[in-house]
Amino acid sequence: MRITVQDSKILVIAGRILIAALFLPAALGKLANFAGTTGMIASKGLPLPAVAAALVIALELGASLSLLAGFRTRWAAIALALFTVAAGLLFHDFWAAPAAAAMGQQQAFFKNLGIAGGLLLFAALGPGPLTLDSRKAS
């Protein structure tokens, strides 16, 4: 199978949309259930859970919209990659989970790593076409 330049442009745009489609609803869900989000963060013993929740929501909203629009894409991708790895380490700690939950937590942890890998590709290779970043370059 041969992928043309035009095909690869479409794939990059689709990739940006699909990754943003993961983080944008997650941010809106956290915002809609701010108390629950704060409680989950507090349950892990993290300091200032309400502040952390607000920062996470701001990061997920801002960076996912930035990724979607292709605005400062590389920075948004790096920020989301770091956040995704940190979230995996803190909230999907399968090594400390009860046996009944370990497999699900392990799958979620490795999915987070895979998502971070995809984000790092955007950081390395750029946002592709139809972006605000590409309009600035012209």
Asked, for residue 71, whether it belongs to a domain, the answer is yes
Asked, for residue 50, whether it belongs to a domain, the answer is yes
Asked, for residue 136, whether it belongs to a domain, the answer is no
Per-residue pLDDT reduced to its tens digit, 37-63? 999 999 999 999 999 999 999 999 999
Q: What is the pTM of this model?
A: 0.91
Q: CB within 8 A of 2, min separation 6: which ones?
A: none
Per-residue pLDDT reduced to its tens digit, 123-133? 999 888 888 88
* Cα distance between residue 58 and residue 37, in whole Å: 13
Alpha helix segments (H runs only) across the chain: 5-32, 34-43, 49-69, 73-91, 99-125, 132-137
Asked, for residue 61, whether it belongs to a domain, the answer is yes
Total domains in the chain come to 1
* Least confident interval from 5-19, 40-54, 114-128: 5-19
| HSE-CB for 46 with a 13 A CA cutoff | 20
Tell me the pLDDT of the chain averaged across its residues.
93
How many percent of the chain have pLDDT more than 70?
98
Asked, for residue 138, whether it belongs to a domain, the answer is no
Asked, for residue 135, whether it belongs to a domain, the answer is no
